[in-house]
Structure 1
Amino acid sequence: MKRLFLVFLLLVILLIAIELLRVYFIMPFPGSQLGLDADAPDQASLGRVELAYWLHKNIGWLRTVGLLLAAYPAFQLIFRPGRTWQRYVAGGLLLAYGGVVYMVNRQMMADQMFQQPITKRVVPMNENKIPLSKLVLGYEALGQATAYPIQLIGYHHQVRDTVGGQPIMVTYCTVCRTGRVFSPFVLGQADEFRLVGMDHFNAMFEDKRTGSWWRQATGQAVVGPMKGKIISELSARQMTLGEWAAEHPNTRVLQADPAFADEFESMKRYERGLSKGKLTRRDSASWQPKSWVIGVERAGFAKAYDWNQLQSKRILNDVVGGEPVMLALSPDSVSFGAWSRRLGVQTLTFQYADRKLTDLETHSVWTWRGHCIAGPLEGRRLNAMPKAYQEFWHSWRSFHPKTTQYTKV
């Protein structure tokens, strides 16, 4: 009977371990993700994700085989005469396993913790209830603009919508402070995605058609049949709703679903960097893991700019991937823009003085949006850099391992 008990004990422990490992490697448990000061995603980390993926895809038969093997010793220990303590321990272990299965599948799965809107309302500005001071991720296509408040999509992690007649997937990861908009097409067809967990503290989504897992920061599939493929990213911009509406007066705005009022309330302080959570807080000092940076990509090159420096200087002139760029901060000190400094055959250099943005070449006056409002270039506009993001420094350098840092004083 002692040997039978040991066999049963090992089988139940193994079953519990399998259930827990399904979520351990893809959720922010101690030791499950690389540290916030880690370098680029490495093979060891991907190996953990691949193990979690294998367990997710094979949990059905693993669970069935384990329970069948445990059935005989469980019957012998519980229903046959023997030591009373073994009977109670065996019964307790089975109850513990049932509790773990419930917790893992009902409370610890990412898509159970962060649910999709039950009632999704996207309304015009005259029906909007979102304060103008709220940060949004704005997207425009074919003349239709829509704003997605970070307080809302930060909880949901993703919201599906149609803008300009085209389906889009608006995503946000609060642990990386990454906002991305994607065209949700897999194998030529618009697909549904669910939040499945995270890798390197970045959200991962599973597509319904192939079951592949896609990294939110890059749009790349890291495991599954689509591994290595990338879904198309669409250019979006982050700013306050007031600034977005000033540019797009006919914009629509995603509204809060009353079913998640408590969840949205807990996100209230996040967007301004006032969260107290270990994973979502902000480092106020520069170039720390949770410091804010502006990351710009172009032609395979990536560069990071310190948010504190941008707030101090208001504008930064630089070159990324051979393209002269300007980063500009709006008067609200929250919204930002990244623009090409190339205007036809001319490359402009900008300065900010006496609360006025001008270029040194023609002394024309510009807005932070890249619009010239006075001077020889009045009426001209700079082109926006399509890939410019605000995010945590640990996230940017993890997913852009060859990034450089802007360090000019």
Structure 2
Amino acid sequence: MIATFILLACVPIGTEEAPAQPAAAADSESGEAVTADSGETDSSDSSAQATASVNTGVPQLSGELITDGVPPPFRTRGFSTDFSRRTVEWDSILSGGPPKDGIPAVDNPEFESIAAGDEWLEEVDPVILYSHGDVSRAYPLSILIWHEIVNDEVDGQPVSITFCPLCNASIAFDRNFDGQVLDFGTTGRLRNSDLIMYDRQTETWWQQFTGEGIVGKYAGEQLRFLTSQVLSWKDFKEAYPDGEVLARPNMPRNYGYNPYVGYDSTSRPFLFRGTPDSRLAPAERVLGLTTDIDAIAYPFTVLEEAGVVHDSFGGLELAIFHKAGLASALDSSLISQGRDIGTVAVYDRQVGDQLLTFSPNEDGSFSDAETGSTWDILGEAVAGPLAGEKLTPILHFDHFWFAWAAFFPETELYNPS
């Protein structure tokens, strides 16, 4: 089992500081999303606008730029990175085993229909949903668990869909940065057990968990997060019958199988040097939110028991949904047989001049007390007076507790009592 981890390890980052100012904030006049790197507005990605307008969800940068001239104490063969610039200490970066691009990114992804996906995906299989314009795509974790990065373009939006198995971190990034489109690969290095990516244009090293450049030309800069959602194949195809699913690459991989059997119940995270925060088990799944000054984590176990949690955070009144029927990608050998962890989603519960109060239904849908409308896990009213209305999604992070707490040691842990 250890040999498998070494072959596939991804890289995490740690910080001892509080969450930082979001990288995408709403323009005070236009309300459109402003990208952190250029200051230009992006009016085409409605999900990004919604996230930006609520001023939430972007993690903390690691620290000040270090230019002490100390070279890295590890081999850097094959990299043209500017190692004179960094924001982290060298001893926090560990080898995960593979060399540069030893875990190959998917660079020319091909997609297939729902019918074709049904031939190899089970209804409970986890996929990452990303939508832009008129295109909605599903990226199965059964593929990403072997490749960790997919460099794609969705209806004109360059995007990288990423997954670090060791932190259970599924994150989408805008590939537009500083007037160019970046392509990402794997360095073979980890920080706090999280994937460290690099871009092929400047070979800057980027922390997947935070989107921060930590070594190289763009050290101290931050990629823009794009709103994505982990959900079941069943929910994806019901919501997007004309959607597309990432086809299995023509590579010798056991797609559909999990090389990290039992990892989501581990008490010893792989290549994690710190002491895990004892408030929860290390591999407890949490839903994380941040603002410029606060961070909070909601345990999946609490969300599962409640079905819906209402909370106030970052100046917003939130509804957090949990729906059963999603397999863990990191439990059993066959991903579709993984234990049911459920899908979680976060929304602003203000709709027009109404503040809605939700409750779960036995069929996995949700109802609001104010109008009796029925809502799905993707925040759309599918029946009742508000049919067709959509809740504003909030950028959130579904991670293992040990990694979330390592990045945000001052994080609040939600307590329903």
For the 8 Å contact 1:168–1:181, the answer to whether it is kept is yes
Q: Find the counterpart in structure 2 of residue 130 from structure 1.
A: 121
Shift of residue 42 of structure 1?
7.3
For 1:215 and 1:238, the matched residues in 2 are separated by 20
Q: Find the counterpart in structure 2 of residue 151 from structure 1.
A: 142
Q: Find the counterpart in structure 2 of residue 99 from structure 1.
A: none
Using the TM superposition, name which of 261-270 and 198-207 deviates more. Answer: 261-270
Q: Which runs of 5+ in 2 are unaligned?
A: 1-5, 18-60, 81-93, 327-341
Shift of residue 185 of structure 1?
2.9
Using the TM superposition, name which of 133-142 and 259-268 deviates more. Answer: 259-268
Q: Find the counterpart in structure 2 of residue 217 from structure 1.
A: 209
Answer 1 or 2: higher relative contact order, Cα 8 Å, separation at least 6.
Answer: 2
Shift of residue 382 of structure 1?
1.5
- Supply the RMSD in Å over aligned alpha carbons: 3.9
Shift of residue 286 of structure 1?
7.6
Shift of residue 212 of structure 1?
1.4
The correspondence for 1:194, drawn from 185, 190, 196, is 185
Structure label with greater radius of gyration: 1
For the 8 Å contact 2:108–2:151, the answer to whether it is kept is no
Same amino acid, percent of matched pairs: 21
For 2:108 and 2:213, the matched residues in 1 are separated by 29
DSSP 3-state at the match of 1:210: coil
For 1:235 and 1:354, the matched residues in 2 are separated by 27
Q: Find the counterpart in structure 2 of residue 315 from structure 1.
A: 308
The correspondence for 1:341, drawn from 337, 349, 371, is 349
* Paired residue type of 1:237: Q
The 5 A counterparts of 1:132-281 are 132-196=123-187, 197-262=189-254, 265-267=257-259, 273=264, 279=270
CA 1:263 to 1:254, structure 2 compared with 1: closer, same or farther past 3 Å? closer
* Paired residue type of 2:354: Q
Q: Deviations over 1:154-173 (max 9, x none)?
A: 22111111111222111111
- Residue 359 of structure 1 pairs with residue 368 of structure 2: yes
The 5 A counterparts of 1:50-61 are 51-52=71-72, 56=76
The correspondence for 1:115, drawn from 74, 85, 104, is 104
CA 1:184 to 1:54, structure 2 compared with 1: closer, same or farther past 3 Å? farther
Q: Deviations over 1:176-233 (max 9, x none)?
A: 1111111223431112222111111111112222221110011110121211111121
For 1:161 and 1:28, the matched residues in 2 are separated by 20
For 2:239 and 2:266, the matched residues in 1 are separated by 29
- Residue 290 of structure 1 pairs with residue 307 of structure 2: no
TM-score by length of structure 2 reads 0.67
For 2:178 and 2:108, the matched residues in 1 are separated by 29
Q: Greater helix share, 1 or 2?
A: 1
For 2:170 and 2:386, the matched residues in 1 are separated by 33
TM-score by length of structure 1 reads 0.69
For 1:377 and 1:266, the matched residues in 2 are separated by 41
For 1:122 and 1:58, the matched residues in 2 are separated by 31
CA 1:268 to 1:221, structure 2 compared with 1: closer, same or farther past 3 Å? closer
For 2:106 and 2:78, the matched residues in 1 are separated by 30
* Paired residue type of 2:101: D
The correspondence for 2:381, drawn from 366, 372, 382, is 372
Q: Deviations over 1:105-163 (max 9, x none)?
A: 9x741522x12348843112132233332101110111101111112112211111111
